[in-house]
Amino acid sequence: MRKTGKPERGLFELYRDDPERADAVVFGRRTGVGRRGFLQGAGLTAMTAAVGAAIPFADNMPSGFIPAALAQAAPAAGAAPAATLPKPLQMEGKAGISVIQERPLNAETPQAMLDDDVTPTAKYFVRNNGLPPEQLGAPASWRITVDGEVNTPLTLTVAELTQRFQPVTLKLQLECGGNGRSFFTPEARGNQWGNGAAGCAEWTGVRLRDVLQAAGLKPSAVYTGHYGADKNLQGTDAPVISRGVRLAKAMDETTLIATRMNGEPLPNIHGGPVRLVVPGWAGSTSQKWLTRIWIRDKEHDGQGMGGFSYRTMRTPIVPGGQAAEANTQILESMPVRSIITNPAHGAQLAANTRQVALRGAAWAGDKTVQAVHISVDYGVTWAPAQVAPPANRHAWQRWTANVTLPSAGYYEIWSRATDQDGKMQPHVAGNWNPQGYGGNPINRVAVLAA
């Protein structure tokens, strides 16, 4: 931008503050005109200067388009050095993870760090609603109660749990219900997660189904209610969060009471010594520091089950508009999503690189991913990636692809996943809701080719 008597707004700030004027400046289009516009003359020059390189597929950019290089920061730039991380993250070796909130502690994994088939514990995201319990005692003596609509209420220590029931080890994908919240416009309430509030660890435990069958479910049993030992921010014993699931999900063979993560005892920061793992659904159902499972004869009404908590709109509303609680439904199976884990967003490719090997992951809640497609020309053309089957139900699926860049310049690599029912990621986060759940737009990674 040229120097004047007052500071000029940058391109991204101009789009944020005055999108119609931004369109007029960049795309040479009159404000108020609804037709699709394209980069022209000075607008193309300004956009090229903003991204730092020529834009080979500039003609494909629609009016109002903000390049990913301007719309989202490179994760590596936002990741905290190990020495500046809160002590709980330092103790777990989570160097490079991005702190979203310190109290309660929430931290996101930069997307490029999710490049492993199984997410290492050191790279796993952290999601807390309250404060972890300070005094855990001996892990083996930790007790869990199963009561409510059962014939034989149970109270089991972790030692008894692991001795009495068959152990199971599975690779299971979890993600925060608000994963992708930052992609909503206007901004929704809550932590502004990108795509990194997700991971696929190897969990060891026992099937919740086996424990519930041992307790003897009554015909009246329809829902679970989960409780943990974490404290609220005021330090009292009032439940921080207490969510539950329909009985059918509780009885799924991949829903676990877990005591180990990636072959090691479950760390405190991830809910140790024992937690629920309810894969494919919002992570808030996977209660950390588990103390009780209450079998209900109705939908659970604990903390985090009412209002707009973990709920999406039944009928879409105008983004930012007035939402009615009666028009909401509980967020259950998470929507289809894909991420590009290599190359990293903001990467500068080696000189003369024209062939780029891509890697990534995709998942779809309770469903499987049937396809991932890749575009390097702003969605005009799409090419299929090679998608591996899940290691087991509810594991994420790794994918690979190779793309050709025709020349040097600024590129965006887009990935779009499609689930087994044919539902695919939208171009922008859809079905806006007040607390920003289910935001799953196509993934966009910006790279510079020299």
Are 235 and 131 in contact by the 8 Å Cβ rule? The answer is yes
Considering the chain, what percentage of its residues have pLDDT values greater than 70?
88
Lateral strand order in the sheet of 443-449 = 347-348, 443-449, 409-419, 369-375, 383-384
Check residue 394 and give its pLDDT.
98
Residue 69 confidence class, pLDDT cut points 50, 70, 90: confident
Are 227 and 244 in contact by the 8 Å Cβ rule? The answer is no
Weakest-pLDDT range from 61-75, 142-156, 332-346: 61-75
Check residue 51 and give its pLDDT.
86
Longest dimension (CA), the chain: 78
Looking at the fold, whether 177 and 315 belong to one and the same domain comes out as yes
How many whole angstroms separate alpha carbon 281 and alpha carbon 246? Answer: 11
Between 235 and 317, name the one with better pLDDT.
317
Neighbour tally for 13: CB within 10 Å: 13
At CA 81, angle to CA 79 and CA 87, rounded to 5? 105
How many whole angstroms separate alpha carbon 206 and alpha carbon 293? Answer: 14
211 three-state secondary structure: helix
Mean pLDDT, residues 332-344 taken together? 98
pTM of the complete model beyond 0.75 = yes
Q: What CATH number corresponds to the domain at position 222?
A: 3.90.420.10
How many whole angstroms separate alpha carbon 385 and alpha carbon 247? Answer: 36
Looking at the fold, whether 272 and 384 belong to one and the same domain comes out as no
Tokens linked to 361: 């992951």
Check residue 219 and give its pLDDT.
98
Number of structural domains in the chain: 3
With CA atoms as reference, report the closest residue to 282 among 198, 185, 195, 339: 198
Residue 85 confidence class, pLDDT cut points 50, 70, 90: confident
Tokens linked to 216: 């003897």
Mean pLDDT, residues 11-34 taken together? 50
How many whole angstroms separate alpha carbon 179 and alpha carbon 194? Answer: 6
Beta-bridge partners for 397? 362
Q: Which residue has the tokens 């993250």?
A: 89
Considering the chain, what percentage of its residues have pLDDT values greater than 90?
77
Looking at the fold, whether 138 and 196 belong to one and the same domain comes out as yes
CA-CA-CA-CA dihedral for 127, 133, 138, 144, to nearest 10: -80
Residue 440 confidence class, pLDDT cut points 50, 70, 90: very high
Interval 208-254: pLDDT, tens: 999 999 999 999 999 999 999 999 998 777 889 999 999 999 999 99
- pLDDT over 70 at 315, yes or no: yes
Looking at the fold, whether 166 and 226 belong to one and the same domain comes out as yes
Check residue 98 and give its pLDDT.
93
Q: Which residue has the tokens 């300070």?
A: 134
Residue 55 confidence class, pLDDT cut points 50, 70, 90: very high
How many whole angstroms separate alpha carbon 272 and alpha carbon 233? Answer: 20
Q: Which of 275, 310, 330 is the last residue of a domain?
A: 330
- Range(s) of the domain holding residue 378: 337-449
- pLDDT over 70 at 287, yes or no: yes
Check residue 3 and give its pLDDT.
37
Domain-embedded: residue 17: yes
H or E segment and range at residue 125: none
Looking at the fold, whether 316 and 351 belong to one and the same domain comes out as no
Mean pLDDT, residues 428-434 taken together? 95
Interval 88-127: pLDDT, tens: 898 889 989 999 999 999 999 999 999 999 999 999 999 9
Are 441 and 425 in contact by the 8 Å Cβ rule? The answer is yes
Looking at the fold, whether 282 and 367 belong to one and the same domain comes out as no
Looking at the fold, whether 341 and 251 belong to one and the same domain comes out as no
- pLDDT over 60 at 74, yes or no: no
Residue 252 CA: distances (Å) to CA of 166, 346, 419: 15, 40, 20
Interval 352-397: pLDDT, tens: 999 999 999 999 999 999 999 999 999 999 999 999 999 999 999 9
